[in-house]
Amino acid sequence: MVGAVTHGRYPVSTAHSSEAEALLTPSEVATLFRVDPKTVTRWAKSGKLSSIRTLGGHRRYRESEVRDLLNGVPQPRTTPQS
């Protein structure tokens, strides 16, 4: 994939950029925060962290957003996606 981000497991292309953005699984995010993966899912449902759904219905999280949250950068509240 041309322009794919090499860090993270799931690169995804965005419509606004030629580069792909790395996506993380709930387990990967949970490891970074030292919480249970279900906690990460609750954060997504409450709007603390936005998620992307795969075709199979699994959640993935933008690495850049996760890193910002990990570093204490405030995130705007969004409506949770089902």
Can you tell me the distance from the alpha carbon of 62 to that of 24, in angstroms, rounded to the nearest whole number? 6
Token representation of residue 52 = 């992307």
Predicted local distance difference test score (pLDDT) of residue 3 = 39
Between these two residues, 21 and 3, which has the higher pLDDT value?
A: 21
DSSP secondary structure code for residue 15 in this structure: T
Q: What is the pLDDT of residues 26-39, one digit of tens each?
A: 999 999 999 999 99
Whether the model clears a pTM of 0.85, i.e. scores above it, the answer is no
Predicted local distance difference test score (pLDDT) of residue 21 = 86
User: Quick check: 72 pLDDT over 80?
Assistant: yes
Predicted local distance difference test score (pLDDT) of residue 9 = 59
